[in-house]
Each structure stands twice: as structure tokens, then as C-alpha cells.
Amino acid sequence: MWDVEPSATLRADALAAAAASPAVAEQAVLIDLLGLRGHVLGRIADYERAAELAERLARDAPDEGRALLARARSRATFHRFPEALADLDAAGRHGADRATLDAERAAILQALGCYADALVLHRDAAQRRPDFTTLGALAVLQAERGQVAAAERLFREARRHYRGVSPFPVASLDFRRGLMWLRRGNFHAARTWFDAACRRMPGYAPAAGHLAEVDAALGAHQTAIDRLRPLAVSSDDPDYAAGLAGVLRDAGHAHEADRWRATAAARYDELMLRHPEAFADHAADFWLTVGDDEHDGPRLAKRNLGMRRAARAYREDRIPASGG
């Protein structure tokens, strides 16, 4: 599942909007809401529409910090990180809030694998204002760094600080906690948190997709198939079709597996043409596994490693030892 989440500073939109013109503020909020819907429902088309609106907004209001911030977020979503950082610098020159900009920079640095620099920004934010958002962001970073004990403490502390009524922020935090345990190979702990995210927010596609992945790993193939089939139909993210193909193959349903594999392959090829920075990672996973392509898989894995140095890009099963 394409684990791109809405902006880390979506919570600060009311403050940012107050400093922008009403038209810019309304468009910026719409862009962020489209990104949120894209994340929750697994709809890449929503991310693309948000990016189109953000590009237009920044073009029409080049001196509005809020417009530049919106474009930075949409560019970061598609892993256009140098352009996103340039937009953040420009937004700062046009009055955008420093704490908001620092949170966005930290998220980009984290995505690039610059964990030490991201840690400085996240720790400073948590020290200045220890709340759900800053503690949650620090928890996610520590999880990615492999600091599980520190991350668990921060996940718990962040949840204690939540004062809102929306299920989205807490479900997203539970989802990230599940990812931490999944990447550690603790399927039972991962299942606990993915299930919590799904219960809190039914229809949360990334959590449901990873819950299916855990079910399959624990041998519950039919349960995994039942979870993935509706996602593969409703989402335009090929990860769901790829995941379904893999589980079907493992369960002995070769014909249906081949059909979903072909669907995923065509969609990855399409998205690699439009958004190569964002999809090299997941396309590499596909071709290295269910896609069964000994050429494209390592090639895309190396390409992804050249663009970002996050821990995920270094997984030893993605690039053969002979490939460096």
C-alpha cells in the first residue's frame, strides 16, 4: 500500500489560513482535504487532483505563503523533494509559520533518510510544544530509526495528549504503530494496531491492506483475500492488486492471481511514467516479488536508492549483493 499520508501539519491549517487571503485559504483547505481522502481511500487520483490545484494556486498567488506551502506538500507527496524544499523556503519568505515549515521539512528529511537532521527538528518541536502532533511525529521517526522502545513510549504519550474528536489522527497514528511492528516481523503486534486503525476508521484502505498482509503472513489466506478483493477493485493504487495477486498465488489460485498481476503491472507502468520518484520503490517491490522480473526489480530498487536513503530503500532483499 502506498503509505503516503496527508501533510504532517494539516492540523495547523486554520492558523495558516488566517494569514492568507480567503480565496487562497479555501483552495488550500480543499487541497489538503483531497490529500486526506486520497490517503484514507487509497485514491491516487485524489492526490493528482490535489497536485493540479496546488500548482494552479501557487501560479496564481505566487506571493502567498499558504499557496506555496500547499504546493510544497503536494510535491512532497509525489516525492519531488528538492522542489518541495524550495517551495518551503519561498513560503517562509512570504510569511508562512516557522513551526509549520519546520514540520514539513522534517517530514521530507525523514523520507530522504536524513534521520539525524529530522530528529533535531522533531525534538525541538516536541520540546517547544509537547502535544499529540509533535509527539506522534517524533514517535514515527523513532520507529523508522529502529528505536522501538522510544517509539512505543512516544506513541503512548501522544495518544494521551489527543484532545480532538476526529478519528483520523488517532487512526493514522495506530496505522504507523502497526507499520513499525510489521517491519520488525512482529505480526501479532502489527495486527493489533492495524485492526485498531480499521475499527476506529472503517474504510481506511492502507490499514486494511496491511491487515490483509499480516493475515496472509499468519496463514489466514482466505481472510486476506476477502480483505484485498474490494480494495483492489475500489482503489487505483496498484499495491492492492499486487498484494491480492500474491496471496491468491500462495493460496493456489493461479489463474485469478495472473489476472490481478497483469492489472498491477499495467498500473505500475502507467504511474512510473507520470510519477517515477514516488513509485520506483513500490514498483521495485512488485517486480522483485509477485511481478517476477529479475531485470526491472533490481533496476528500480537501485533507482530508488539513488533518490532517497531511507531505511526501506536498503532492504537487502531488494538489491542483490552484486549490485552494490
- Sorting pLDDT into bands at 50, 70 and 90, what band is 21? confident
What are the chain's domains?
A: 11-97 (1.25.40), 113-163 (no CATH), 170-218 (no CATH), 221-315 (no CATH)
In whole angstroms, what is the distance from residue 157 CA to residue 135 CA? 7
Query: Looking at beta carbons, which pairs linking 169-173 to residues 24 or more positions away fall under 8 Å?
Result: 169/11, 169/132, 169/133, 169/136, 170/200, 171/196, 171/197, 171/200, 171/201, 171/204, 171/207, 172/5, 172/197, 173/132, 173/136, 173/139, 173/140
Secondary structure (3-state) at 168: helix
Residues 170-177, mean pLDDT to the nearest whole number? 98
Which is more confidently placed, 16 or 26? 26
Helix axis angle, 238-250 relative to 254-274, nearest 10°? 160
- Sorting pLDDT into bands at 50, 70 and 90, what band is 293? low
Residues whose CB is less than 8 angstroms from the CB of residue 314 and which lie 6 or more positions away in sequence, other chains included: 305
Give kind and range of the element (H or E) at residue 206: helix 205-217
- At 14, give phi and psi (nearest 5°): -60, -40
Checking if the pLDDT of 294 tops 90, the result is: no
In this prediction the pTM is: 0.86
| End-to-end alpha carbon distance in the chain | 27
In whole angstroms, what is the distance from residue 138 CA to residue 223 CA? 34
Arithmetic mean of pLDDT over the chain? 88
- What's 99's DSSP letter? H
> Residues 319, 310, 68, CA angle at the centre, nearest 5°?
130
Which is more confidently placed, 258 or 9? 258
Per-residue model confidence (pLDDT) at position 204: 98
Is residue 231 within 8 A of residue 42, CB to CB? The reply is: yes
In whole angstroms, what is the distance from residue 189 CA to residue 187 CA? 6
Residues whose CB is less than 8 angstroms from the CB of residue 18 and which lie 6 or more positions away in sequence, other chains included: 25
Per-residue model confidence (pLDDT) at position 9: 45
What are 24's three cell numbers?
487562497
Checking if the pLDDT of 218 tops 80, the result is: yes
Q: How far is CA 265 from the centre of its chain?
A: 21
Lowest-confidence pick of 49-53, 65-69, 241-245, 308-312? 308-312
Q: Each residue of 105-127: pLDDT tens digit?
A: 999 999 999 999 999 999 999 99
Q: What is the DSSP string of 269-283?
A: HHHHHH-HHHHHHHH
Q: For residue 323, with 0-12 CB atoms within 10 Å meaning exposed, 13-18 middle and 19 or more buried, which class applies? A: exposed
Residues 63-72, mean pLDDT to the nearest whole number? 96
Residues 38-62, mean pLDDT to the nearest whole number? 97
Checking if the pLDDT of 12 tops 50, the result is: no
How many other C-beta atoms can be found within 10 angstroms of the C-beta atom of residue 48?
19
